[in-house]
Amino acid sequence: MSALTLPQDGEADAHRRWREVFAAYPVIVLIANSDAVEIGALRRDYGEDALFVFFNKVYKVLNAPFDGPALLVARSGPAGANIVYRREVADVVRLVRSPRFLGICNLRAGGHERFSPAAEFGVPDPVGHLDLTAGFEGFYPASHVATSGFALAVFLCEQRLNARIVLAGFTAKRSTRWKLFADHDWTFEQIVQRLLVRAGRLESANIVADDLLHPIHQRFPEIAPAAVGAVAAEVLAERLETANLAIDDLIRLTRPQRRFDGWLKGLKPKTRKAKIAAAATMSDKA
């Protein structure tokens, strides 16, 4: 078990201390819970000294214990850290615990999210808190909340570390096994990630799509890159509107089924998560 002491909620210099934690590694690999991740290949590519950062339910990408340098990011919600209220901490940590396991980083990136006290994790490993909420106000679309991986990647970029920051599995693509949650703005995140990759601030372990617009400017140099981008956005907007009209038709056709589904869901008792969040809200009001 690591003897490292991780920054706690409320510490004035928490970001600086987290920077020191990450600065100790030449390569930092952020592992998305995605079918595009192959841990064995990543370890061969980035070496035994690379820090692997896992998120929440690591059993999505690990089918055997990981013995390299690792940090587990546990995302918070209104009821606290997700793996705490779901009682998954022990099952998740056993897959990353080794003499080189740094501990757990309880992360929040939205104002409605709450940290869980270190004691609630119920494990002997170090637990720290990283609050990134302020850094995304006025930057991330207000109607959504940043994913843990995106939030941490942006934070690391802004720390100007002397390290390679690698994204593995950050494809924002649905699969037959895993879904994309609608509370994140996947389009915005992909735009920022690709810009940072092309600027050399981030690296991608997966195949990066080619810049489809640059060859147009090369072929027709009299057309400014800004004009190419503007027309591309115009065409995409038109195609999106066409898709939205088709989606509206599907919504109308499935309205009876959705009403019935909503009625069935209304009969279900509140989940443990909902009860904890409601209790926390009542406590704040009191």
**Which residues, in sequence order, are CB contacts of 54 under 8 Å at separation 6+?**
31, 61, 62, 66, 70, 71, 72, 73, 96
DSSP strand pairing (203-204 vs 51-55):
unpaired
Look up residue 116 and give its DSSP letter.
P
252 Cβ contact list (under 8 Å, min separation 6):
none
- The amino acid sitting at 280 is A
Confidence of residue 261 (pLDDT cuts 50, 70, 90): confident
Sketch the domain layout of the chain as residue ranges: 14-204, 214-285
Tell me phi and psi for residue 182, to 5 degrees.
Answer: -75, -10
Q: Residue 281 is encoded by which pair of tokens?
A: 């809200």
pLDDT tens-digit series, residues 42-89: 999 999 999 999 999 999 899 899 999 999 999 999 999 999 999 999
Going along the chain, which residue ranges are E strands? 27-31, 51-55, 70-77, 80-81, 101-108, 127-131, 164-168, 203-204
Q: Is the pTM of this model over 0.85?
A: no
Q: Return the pLDDT at 29.
A: 98
Q: How confident is the model at residue 175 (pLDDT cuts 50, 70, 90)?
A: low
pLDDT digits (tens, 9 = 90+) for 194-241: 899 989 999 999 866 667 788 888 888 898 888 888 888 888 888 878
Cα angle at 127 between 126 and 131, to 5 degrees? 145
Q: Please tell me the distance from the alpha carbon of residue 217 to that of residue 103, in angstroms, as a whole number.
A: 48
Give the DSSP H/E element, type plus range, for residue 108.
Answer: strand 101-108
pLDDT of residue 285: 56
